[in-house]
Amino acid sequence: MTASPLVGREPALAELDAVLAEARAGRGRLVLVTGEAGIGKTRLAEELVRRADGFATHWAWCRTDQSMGSLRTWSSVLRNLTATVPAVAELAES
């Protein structure tokens, strides 16, 4: 199943393409996508992942009801990274 075309997000995609170019040049980045519900954040993130060929990607999201706590999302990302990226695991142990 292919994703539908992403329409009207050229400025955001240009910015994300620049982030990927920087990462390919050895300057890593963290991308946070924020905004109101229903504006296409997930679809934009899916497009970024599609363009990020060769990179590891890690997904996390926040619940609107705050039931998970404000840092729960970050702990999920860190847990995933320490399990899959040896350099991050070494940093976490030190």
In angstroms, the CA 29 to CA 2 distance is 27
- Which residues 6+ apart lie within 8 Å of 60 measured at CB? 73, 74, 76, 77, 80
Taking 80 as the threshold, does the pLDDT of residue 2 lie above it? no
* Cα atoms found within 13 Å of the Cα of residue 76, Cβ hemisphere only: 12
Q: Taking residues 62-84, what's their average pLDDT? A: 79
Summarize pLDDT for 26-70 with one digit per residue, the tens: 998 888 888 888 889 989 999 999 999 888 888 877 777 766 677
Taking 80 as the threshold, does the pLDDT of residue 82 lie above it? yes
User: What pLDDT does 19 receive?
Assistant: 93
